[in-house]
Chain A
């Protein structure tokens, strides 16, 4: 049991808010891809990691400021996500449907394969060092009363919530957002009103991978870019997206991520540090156990979203 002073509790809350912000961003990113396209995109971990490496390369070789490196890394992740959708998921989905088999398993295996290939390709391309640093960000500790926060925490918090709110605004108030929501709700009906779902899939892969890339660059700035950087966040992204609900708004998903960070951090007041990640497992477990999830319905829902490719 930790020393329950006001200062300690405030520090824990601050840590929870900043960790939760990162969970919020990746939860929104992963959830957007999953809810609209129905692709169980495990290779999200690769685009997350790729962004960090590209940002590190931009900073190291081009000596560009951190924010340009961040943008470059996120755009690289976005491009990688789009290529995965167009070159792997969509063709395989078409073939699976054409062959009369269930594309859900095909997508899962394809994504798993992409994540293994991507992770090893990154590791092989950076054999000379097991990790690389992202340079150009002056990360300093700031004491606010008894709480220490860092400039990187603040940058992540502002950037993440601006992006989440911007995405919510796009989805709610723009034509593109309405098309995305239409495909998410019912791709067949969206076809009837002239929306090409495959194009919307590309859009959500681009946006989701971009947001994930931003999170990846911040995480690598805090630690370092390693080939396995994206694996732990993938789990958090999955939990946040599932628990928040596939049809939830980015703000709701983001708040759920923030809540997860806070619960995890607060648990450190009573648990040893190495056991705090179990809290996330517990949340997922209770969600699955207590919430009346009808997996057949979920499967059908994902199935509805994955089949527009079959129609052309």
Chain B
């Protein structure tokens, strides 16, 4: 039963306060259209918002370092719109006004990343949502120098950006966090398979580190590495890589490329004559559209956000609001969901900082709040009545708990095959 106007709900947020917040959001030109006061109030309750520390009246600058141009620009608009929507909802829920300052990292251009973080630093911006592992690591020194508390929801920390002060990766490390679960899946689904061929982005020494770490997860099993190919980030032509993969006579192929690149890879893979199962570590509608029929049968394993089957009420609210307000034609994908979730994680950190008596514009205070309680509400996991949760490792700054899955794109839709957590914990076949 809905609380009556003015009554205090268990979260402590009243409908009046939510309506006032919606008014503020409208005045700020960020009215979350379609989101009713009741639904916002309900979500605030689920997220455990305490109005005393929600940050009402505060204005906080937040930088968004996202791919506005370049090969990943197609995702740039989605990942930019989602946190903007989140900030409008946060304002409506009685939270601070987050003033968004958008910076273009040009899709993994380190120079652009350095420039972005420098500009934010010069302007004393205390918060940032960033991407592509702090734009391939180039932003990390600036983040530390200018003390910008940052969350990366499109690349996480990877292996090379762990334990960097003020920088936290909010998604599983790909492919490494998924590999233990994938190995368990392969042992069940493909018991005769032995030889794995990989094709991953060529990021130089960073790729060496990722490959070396990945191999340790299947040492001691039946699996051996048949070949390890590398391609340019944003490559569209994989014919040379596929030739080498074919030469290595694999039983299974891992496509460790991301975003749309999976689509290009699959488009050529189907005519390569290899005809073995392919496991990717991402899935996006854009890649699916590029590959067309070639996408059919692709397996993928990661912390996938399934907009067709939101796993908890907050996720459902997000999908409904995004579809209503931002893009009615394209459901929110993994990157979009992560950037939305990151905005709320940022708010949670601000609230916890305020509760601890800290200054939410001070990265050290934010970092301390993060370390004190590194568990946050999540769009992932949960149940019909409860939001999911993610938890961070305070040493590595990466997630140590985050729901993941193996799924297959078959008959034009995503079919979930197995669930697991970081490191293959709680692995469970669904079929």
Report how far A224 CA is from B287 CA in the complex, Å: 11
B243 touches A274 (CB 8 A): no
Report how far A127 CA is from B77 CA in the complex, Å: 10
Contact partner of B267 (CB less than 8 A), chosen from A19, A127, A224, is A224
Nearest Cβ distance between residue B266 and chain A, in whole angstroms?
11
A130 touches B73 (CB 8 A): yes
A15 contacts B by Cβ under 8 Å? yes
Pick the most buried of B74, B246, B248, B290: most chain A CB atoms within 10 A of its CB: B290
B243 touches A141 (CB 8 A): no
B230 contacts A by Cβ under 8 Å? yes
Report how far A129 CA is from B286 CA in the complex, Å: 8
A15 touches B240 (CB 8 A): yes
A141 touches B202 (CB 8 A): no
Which residues of the partner chain A approach B273 to less than 8 Å between Cβ atoms? 141, 143, 148
Q: Evaluate whether A2 and B247 lie within 8 angstroms (CB atoms) in the complex, with A15-B240, A223-B264, A268-B240 already known.
A: yes
Report how far A127 CA is from B248 CA in the complex, Å: 39
A129 touches B202 (CB 8 A): no
A3 touches B248 (CB 8 A): yes
A224 touches B247 (CB 8 A): no
CB under 8 Å from chain A, chain B span 272-295? 272-273, 286, 289-290, 292
Pick the most buried of B247, B264, B268: most chain A CB atoms within 10 A of its CB: B247
Which residues of the partner chain A approach B289 to less than 8 Å between Cβ atoms? 129, 133
Report how far A274 CA is from B267 CA in the complex, Å: 20
Report how far A19 CA is from B72 CA in the complex, Å: 27
Which residues of the partner chain B approach A3 to less than 8 Å between Cβ atoms? 247-248
How many residues of A are counted as interface, with CB atoms below 8 angstroms from the partner's CB atoms?
31
Report how far A131 CA is from B263 CA in the complex, Å: 11
Report how far A273 CA is from B207 CA in the complex, Å: 15
A-B contact count (CB 8 A): 77
Give 30 A-B contacts (CB < 8 Å), ordered by A residue: A2-B247, A15-B239, A15-B243, A127-B73, A129-B286, A129-B289, A130-B71, A130-B73, A130-B286, A133-B290, A139-B271, A141-B270, A141-B272, A148-B246, A148-B273, A152-B271, A223-B237, A223-B264, A223-B267, A223-B268, A224-B236, A224-B264, A226-B71, A268-B240, A268-B244, A273-B230, A273-B231, A273-B240, A273-B241, A274-B202
Contact partner of B243 (CB less than 8 A), chosen from A130, A150, A222, A268, is A268
CB under 8 Å from chain B, chain A span 128-164? 129-131, 133, 139-141, 143, 148, 150, 152
Further contacts, 7 of them, CB under 8 A, given A131-B236, A131-B290, A229-B236: A130-B260, A139-B271, A148-B272, A222-B267, A223-B267, A224-B263, A273-B230
Q: Which residue of A lies closest to B207 (CB)?
A: A274
B239 touches A133 (CB 8 A): no
Report how far A226 CA is from B286 CA in the complex, Å: 13
CB under 8 Å from chain A, chain B span 126-171? none
B232 contacts A by Cβ under 8 Å? yes
Which residues of the partner chain A approach B236 to less than 8 Å between Cβ atoms? 131, 223-224, 226, 229
Question: Contact mask A4-19 → B, CB, 8 Å, 1/0?
Answer: 0000100110010001
A148 touches B240 (CB 8 A): no
Which residues of the partner chain B approach A226 to less than 8 Å between Cβ atoms? 71, 236
B229 contacts A by Cβ under 8 Å? yes
B244 touches A273 (CB 8 A): yes
A12 touches B243 (CB 8 A): yes
Q: Evaluate whether A133 and B292 lie within 8 angstroms (CB atoms) in the complex, with A12-B243, A223-B237 already known.
A: yes
Nearest Cβ distance between residue B68 and chain A, in whole angstroms?
11
Which residues of the partner chain B approach A273 to less than 8 Å between Cβ atoms? 229-231, 240-241, 244
How many residues of B are counted as interface, with CB atoms below 8 angstroms from the partner's CB atoms?
32
A294 contacts B by Cβ under 8 Å? no
Which residues of the partner chain A approach B72 to less than 8 Å between Cβ atoms? 130
Which residues of the partner chain A approach B286 to less than 8 Å between Cβ atoms? 129-130
Nearest Cβ distance between residue A174 and chain B, in whole angstroms?
36
CB under 8 Å from chain B, chain A span 202-222? 219, 222
A11 touches B264 (CB 8 A): no
Which residues of the partner chain A approach B248 to less than 8 Å between Cβ atoms? 3
Report how far A292 CA is from B231 CA in the complex, Å: 36
Report how far A140 CA is from B268 CA in the complex, Å: 10
Which residues of the partner chain A approach B271 to less than 8 Å between Cβ atoms? 139-141, 148, 150, 152
Report how far A219 CA is from B289 CA in the complex, Å: 18
Q: Which residue of A lies closest to B107 (CB)?
A: A130
A291 contacts B by Cβ under 8 Å? no
B267 touches A129 (CB 8 A): no
| 5 nearest A-B pairs in the assembled complex, by CB-CB distance | A148-B273, A223-B236, A141-B271, A130-B74, A150-B271
Which residues of the partner chain A approach B290 to less than 8 Å between Cβ atoms? 131, 133, 224
Which residues of the partner chain B approach A133 to less than 8 Å between Cβ atoms? 289-290, 292
Report how far A139 CA is from B270 CA in the complex, Å: 9
Which residues of the partner chain A approach B240 to less than 8 Å between Cβ atoms? 15, 265, 268, 273, 276
Which residues of the partner chain B approach A148 to less than 8 Å between Cβ atoms? 246, 271-273
Which residues of the partner chain A approach B202 to less than 8 Å between Cβ atoms? 274
